[in-house]
Structure 1
Amino acid sequence: MTIQATRTEAFVPVKRPFNFQRWFAATGWRHLVGVVMVVFSAFPLLYVLSASLNPQGTLTGSNELFSEIGLDAYGRLLDNPEQPFAVWFANTLIISGTTAVLSVFLGALAAYSFSRMRFTGRRTGLLTLVLVQMFPQLLAVVALFLLMSTIGDMFPAIGLNTHIGLIMVYLGGALGVNTYLMYGFFNTIPASIDEAAKIDGASHARIFFTIILRLVAPILAVVALLSFIGTTNEFVVASVLLVDPEKQTLAVGLYKLVSNPNYADWSAFSAGAVLAALPVMALFLFLQKYIVGGLTAGSVK
């Protein structure tokens, strides 16, 4: 027992004294970079929040963060009958939510077809999707306005100054990149899962809705989140296609608060930006478990 204890004590490692230079060279610089990035990312958010709580209504008075705190800007934003913030907020949620759901559904259908089926023009279709995404949607604003105006003459429900028409434009602009993004993720799902389901008599529709969609939940969550954020922040197309103030989105409506330099209410604008960020934050927190879950790895095993 004595010999065994002596041998055991001989292998006890000696703890070296703390060396700041060695620690900083190994891992300390990573903490420093992380702190700098957090401050760099959080400062604009804190500045906008401080400006929304500043009763003066100017950005120059918000240089000192949280020097004055009040809810006057939120009151002016919500109680102004000429600027229906609640209507803009509801319009944004409807348009962004519908666009996100339909973008995920249509993109998943197209990605499944390109990934699992073999048909004439498959490769050409994929290359066309990539080439179309090289041109920004901003280049087609004039064409979109003329197209929606002509469609509105024949079908007023989906033409100019309608939410359905704007949703269709958003879907057309995002379908290509969403399809290509999902296509790469669909290819990571082993084809043996489809073959096993086909042996059991499952059709393509059953395989897609009951098996594949569950395995690709992370990419569906990412596409839905990106689509929702992009649609919420979009300004140019919405300002061109939506003319009626009662049908405009938050991005277009809030611009009116600062469009006139002589009467710009930056505090109310900042308050609207803070409120507009709440749905995005809520959706991100809700989809976070799907984004970082990694459901595909467990399903294959």
Structure 2
Amino acid sequence: MSQPTAAGVPGAVPAEVPGPAVGTVPDTGTVRVPPGQKPRTGVWWRHALAVLALVWALFPVLFILSAALNPAGTLNSASPVPTAFSFDNFSDLFASQTFPFWSWFRNSLVVAGLGTVFQVFIGAAAAFAFSRLRWRGRRPGLMALLLSQMFPALLAFPALYLMFLKIGDVLPAIGLNTLWGLLLVYLGGAMGANVWLLKGYFDTIPKELDEAAKMDGASHARIFFTMTLRLVAPILATVGILAFVALWGEFLLASIFLLDQERRTLGVGLYSLNLADRNKYFGMFCAGALIASLPPVVVYLTLQKQLIGGLTQGSVK
């Protein structure tokens, strides 16, 4: 007598579930794409957002370019789409005796170039001391640098103005209304965020290299100049780029310290065009703004690999 096969009966043998036939593909719930047709990924909105962001970023550039090439050269005649092309605004800006454009350009190069070199050196020396040396007050010093960045720089402007006004009476070369005085103020703020960024990269360098160099008789200065600076070249380039761009576009301190027309930096000088007559000199202003944007772009394109490497490798230890 055969055993019953009904479910729920003790000793029953479960019936076999019929499986897919041989040669067929089981249904997994995915939608099949016909041959020759691309699958729909559903990410079209990402591309739309990217295009929208690109248009949003390029619209000011297009407007400035159109106004610089507009022969009318006024704010009223400026439009996003250029209707005519001419280099009259550039020639008028270069030939102007009232607005010495090339003097402003040279002053900005001097301040931004020298300021970048000294800021990188001061920041690297401080980061080496905080990272490699052990001395009393090391941690409180790092915390003090971090806390000092929380206070707005505008609070120090009145004190800096009065200080350099008095210094100019004793040392006119570094007083108020001088490029060297402005450069000293910029160097006073060289430490801070740069030191933390540099220290994070310095910590990634094995300390065994320093110990091996000390066993060979190398001093701290020799280790710093001949070995460490070469190993941290990416972060030095990163800090250099950030410092150059910041100094090149700095406006507030430069507008306070530099009063004479010949001694102004590029940003302050171009702003004086708007103060004179915003409608009349708008084309010249846009032409100068286009030329002023070239040095930062060249620096970024030249050192972009070092910029990415320095920011990523120095972020973790």
Same fold (TM over 0.5): yes
Contact 1:137 1:173 in 2 (8 A): no
2 CA distance for matches of 1:191 and 1:117? 11
Q: What's the secondary structure of 1:61's corresponding residue?
A: coil
Structure 1 residue 83: Cα displacement? 0.8
Structure 1 partner of 2:79: 63
Q: 1:262 to 1:125 in 2, by over 3 A?
A: closer
**Which of 127, 131, 140 pairs up with 1:111?**
127
Q: Which amino acid aligns with 1:273?
A: A
Q: Which amino acid aligns with 1:279?
A: P
Structure 1 residue 218: Cα displacement? 1.6
**More deviation, 252-261/78-87:** 252-261
**Which of 218, 221, 224 pairs up with 2:234?**
218
2 CA distance for matches of 1:296 and 1:35? 27
Structure 2 partner of 1:253: 269
Structure 1 residues 43-78: Cα deviation after superposition (integer angstroms, max 9, x where no partner)? 211211111111222334222422221111111111
**Which of 23, 40, 44 pairs up with 1:21?**
40
Higher helix share: 1
1 CA distance for matches of 2:295 and 2:206? 35
Q: What's the secondary structure of 2:176's corresponding residue?
A: coil
Structure 1 residues 223-250: Cα deviation after superposition (integer angstroms, max 9, x where no partner)? 1111111111111111111111111101
**More deviation, 95-104/217-226:** 217-226
Contact 1:216 1:295 in 2 (8 A): no
TM-score (norm 1): 0.86
Is 1:196 aligned to 2:196, yes or no?
no
Structure 2 partner of 1:174: 190
State percent identity of aligned pairs.
49
2 CA distance for matches of 1:132 and 1:16? 64
Is 1:240 aligned to 2:256, yes or no?
yes
Structure 2 partner of 1:147: 163
Structure 1 gap segments, 5+ residues each: 1-13
**More deviation, 243-252/61-70:** 61-70
**Which of 131, 155, 158 pairs up with 2:147?**
131
**More deviation, 88-97/264-273:** 264-273
Structure 2 partner of 1:4: none
Structure 1 partner of 2:176: 160
Q: Which amino acid aligns with 2:246?
A: G
Structure 1 residues 232-274: Cα deviation after superposition (integer angstroms, max 9, x where no partner)? 1111111111111111101111111111456541111111111
Contact 1:77 1:272 in 2 (8 A): yes
1 CA distance for matches of 2:210 and 2:75? 58
Q: What's the secondary structure of 2:57's corresponding residue?
A: helix
Contact 2:182 2:257 in 1 (8 A): yes
Is 1:184 aligned to 2:204, yes or no?
no
Q: Which amino acid aligns with 1:21?
A: R
CA root-mean-square deviation: 2.2
Structure 2 gap segments, 5+ residues each: 1-31
Structure 1 residues 140-177: Cα deviation after superposition (integer angstroms, max 9, x where no partner)? 11111101011111111111111111001011123222
Structure 1 residues 64-117: Cα deviation after superposition (integer angstroms, max 9, x where no partner)? 422221111111111111110010000000010000000000100000000111
Q: Which amino acid aligns with 2:232?
A: V
Structure showing greater radius of gyration is 2
Matched residues, number: 281
TM-score (norm 2): 0.82
**Which of 207, 215, 225 pairs up with 1:209?**
225
Structure 1 residue 213: Cα displacement? 1.1
2 CA distance for matches of 1:43 and 1:16? 41
Structure 1 residue 294: Cα displacement? 6.4
1 CA distance for matches of 2:242 and 2:76? 33
Structure 1 residue 288: Cα displacement? 2.1
**Which of 296, 299, 302 pairs up with 1:280?**
296
Structure 2 partner of 1:10: none
Structure 1 partner of 2:28: none
